[in-house]
Structure 1
Amino acid sequence: MTTPEIHARHEIETETSPSAVYELITDVSLWPVIFRPTVHTQVLERTERGDRFEIWATVAGGEVNSWRSRRAFDAAARRVAFRQDHDNPLFGLMGGGWTCLPLPGDRTKVVLEHRFTPPPDQADARERIARDLDTNGAAELEALRTVSALPGGLDRWRVTFTETVALSGPAEAAREFVWAADQWPQRLPHVAGLDLVEQASGAQDMTMETRAPDGTLHTTRSLRLLLPDGTIVYKQTRPPRALLGHSGRWEFRSDPAGDSISSTHTFLMDPAGVAEVFGPDVQAPEAAKRLQAALSANSRVTMQHADRWSASVGAR
């Protein structure tokens, strides 16, 4: 017996233009710092007419699942249609679309639609998928409304930076050091405590307590993935108060010039959080400078210790 296709629809109104919202939807590289469920995205193909990408995102119970999707862009209608490349064991075969409808006053109604055919061997799939779509769909639309309305535009509040350290030993040893986060409280001076749970998918769910230079302790929670190419990517699911989102990656390279480790951060500031943490008179550029300095300090310490570890391994 054929499993019937099921439809779901969610919508929200924003105070920004359809074109601004459409740009946020089409750029999946932004999704880890915008959408709560999205851990990482990787674009596989892209043209003006559409793209194909892989996405890692949390589903029911916080488990990380991945799938590949194709999208078709209609810039004139401000619509993005999507469909998965293949059946997903949790959702079956899914497709749908985003539509940005103009409202008076240069406002937008955003409509998110899904259609899916549940896996035929899962009797409870219909209800479970509907619950997940209700939760994630509402969260994604609310995030779009928040981010599209950032004063001065997205670029005023978003920062990306990369730092690289040359390694004294093999890059593979540095990768092992960074991935073994359960050892960080013994190996890194700024990590006061860490609780790590490995999911069935291989993703790491990591709750970490770090010590700031002034001695204060801060707790963050992150999901981390080890990609097939050896890159480690992560997304903070409990970011600091000043941030709406924070994601990053660790890259390890070996070439004739020598081995190296790189740390990349992308963070999106929360105007209300910035005012609360730094004071109402601190503007976005100054807040970005302070936040980048704090993130840089921690990642550089981690890279320096990874370098020492790789040097000790290489000397054996």
Structure 2
Amino acid sequence: MPFVTAQTLPASAPSTPVSGIPRTLRLCLKESRPAVLAAFQLRFLAGVALVPASTTVLGVRPALQATLCFVAWFCAVFYTYLYNGYMDYREDRVNESTRPIASLKLPRSTALTVARCAALAALVCAAGAGLGALLLCTALLLLGYGYSSPRTAWKNRTPAVMGVVFVSGLLTYSAGPVALGSSPASPALLLTAFAMSLWMALVGAVAKDFSDIEGDIASGRRTWAITLGERRARLLVAVGACAVGGGYTAGAAAWAPELLPVASVVLAGAVVLATVTLTGQGATRRSRRRLPYRCFMGTQHCAHLALLGQAVI
């Protein structure tokens, strides 16, 4: 049987097929943490849902502006976490992360290009949503850049991380109402924005480090899990979670009774999170050390879905 001789492609032939573009975007999406992207979009929608009916601006234009702002927010958060994955390559390798950049499935240069395109798209969409939305989106992008950039590296210290996520939460809850032309000042919106932004700062910003201590030490970070020790950091997370859950519930009872079901979800999640956090000391498997952060993320997903479901009903 004669052999078939393979022909060599000419030098001008593309090295990546067109079908590689969807794959690249899928890997970029995975790198940017879909659970986090979903959490930010749920916060955005919660801000819209909590706009008082008496001040809601109706019409095609406000709806279009809110939609553009929603897309802009997605692109801005997508940029933030994709850029973070690009900058965290070395410590993610030490921590044996399975995300696409660390596992070498996604080239760093490609991720950076896509991240920059996402930032540009965020600004363009935000500009279409109005000046207020553009200013808020620009602030979010600057926070994302400052978090991971070597020039500022706010990611390296827990207090700075807490500040970044707290402000990003407040910006997110405000973005929808601002795009609609409404003031984000209703008691229910202010209470939810403050409580759930504290949930991000006091709980998520600390719990996320429990599974990455080795890589953080190797990269010179000074997180609380390192400077205070894991046991103290876990205690602070448990206390912070219960404080936010209890405070949100008490605030709802006093100023916004309609939020009591949502606050109850947060309080229940706080109790579960505190339990798994305090009992997880000394765990060796990364999945077990990651459990407090997953409880944090799951609680806020459930709380926002409950809030949106209540708004629809």
Short-chain TM bin: under 0.3
> Would you tell me which structure has more helix in proportion to its own residues?
2
Give the TM-score normalised by structure 1.
0.27
> Would you tell me which structure has more strand in proportion to its own residues?
1
Give the TM-score normalised by structure 2.
0.28
